[in-house]
Amino acid sequence: MESMNKKRLFNPLGNDDISNRRLIDGSTTNIFNLNNTKYDWANKLYRAMMENFWIPEKVDLTADIQDYKKLTDAERRAYDGILSFLVFLDSIQTNNVPKLGEYMTAPEVTLVLAIQTYQEAVHSQSYAYTIETVIAKESRNSIYEFWRDDKILYDRIEFIAQSYQDFHDEQNYANFAKALVADYLLEAVYFYNGFNFFYLLASRHLMPGSADIIRYINRDELTHVVLFEYIIRGIREENPGVISDELIYEMFKTAVNQEIEWTNHILGNSILGVTMESTERYTKYIANRRLKSLGLAPLYEGYTENPYKHLEKIADTEGDGDVKANFFESTVTSYNQSSAVEGWDDL
């Protein structure tokens, strides 16, 4: 397998002419000149992600402390297990994104990856804040260690984490392609059944603070989905054969099967508003949407409707608002904490 060349940090012979710029295998000086970019989508995405600034500790979790005691045993197990899953993958994501960035040779894309890394760290902080606030002290470690003792959870995080580790161990094009697709699957498929669990609780006026934190995270994750859609599509165009259709479909099938198995394992039919049928319908629906965004045909014929569409208002990912975000597949308008950034009207 052909090895990849890491970009040079100090590259005085680099060519910053945008006509020579590439996502990988290029050569620039690495200067962040946002007035001279090839990938305009990266500029827009950078501005949108900067607008998403938020601080976990500003979310009030007081009500959640009491609500947690009102949950059924199945709901508490789901709450704990989903938090364990989320904190593990966002932790490993914080470490993985910079590694991918070492091989991205368009400065404007490297800049966006740096913002994603920061946001992943904030997500990990937010899970820790939730666990430390809501969960009794004697039970907290069990959440952080849940993945070690639950084989189904371990198997699904191993699929992503090992794809990352393979690239960390050996930087070749095949491992790079796997790591990119794994990153996309984590951001675009793996989180959303878990997010919906929190929105279902919120629809019953339970755990409102936890749902607010998930909304913030959900908003960030949508930008990460868009980022890796552009990266994967761009590399497939500029470097044909590096990321094959076969690889994407193979990894999607594995991810979808694992997502359904895990969700049925942690939620099953024991959570109000979720059934094993709705889990399968939703997961395959999400997978088809993500494949379409990559310019590929769907894997699952007939899975075109979202069975949890009623949760979109709670999730705040589909409403009309004053922020024009047709750049994304969704619009989130209720959580902006910073002032508007010039350029929003163009998104």
Helix intervals (H) in the chain: 40-51, 62-70, 73-101, 107-134, 140-144, 146-149, 151-169, 173-185, 192-203, 208-238, 245-266, 276-293, 312-315
CA distance 306 to 142: 33
CA distance 108 to 36: 9
Q: What are phi and psi of 165, to 5 degrees?
A: -60, -40
CA distance 127 to 90: 9
Closest alpha carbon to 50 in 133, 149, 120, 119: 119
CA distance 126 to 55: 8
Q: Is 127 annotated as catalytic?
A: yes
CA distance 281 to 308: 10
Give the torsion sign (CA, 144, 256, 192, 310).
negative
CA distance 57 to 129: 7
Amino acid at 158: E
Q: Please give the C-alpha separations between residue 246 and each of 59, 242, 253, 291, 299, in angstroms, as whole numbers.
A: 43, 11, 11, 12, 12
CB count within 10 Å of CB 196 equals 27
Determine which one of 79, 127, 164, 192 is catalytic.
127
CA distance 42 to 109: 6
CA distance 9 to 3: 18
What SS3 class is residue 145? coil
Catalytically active residues are 127
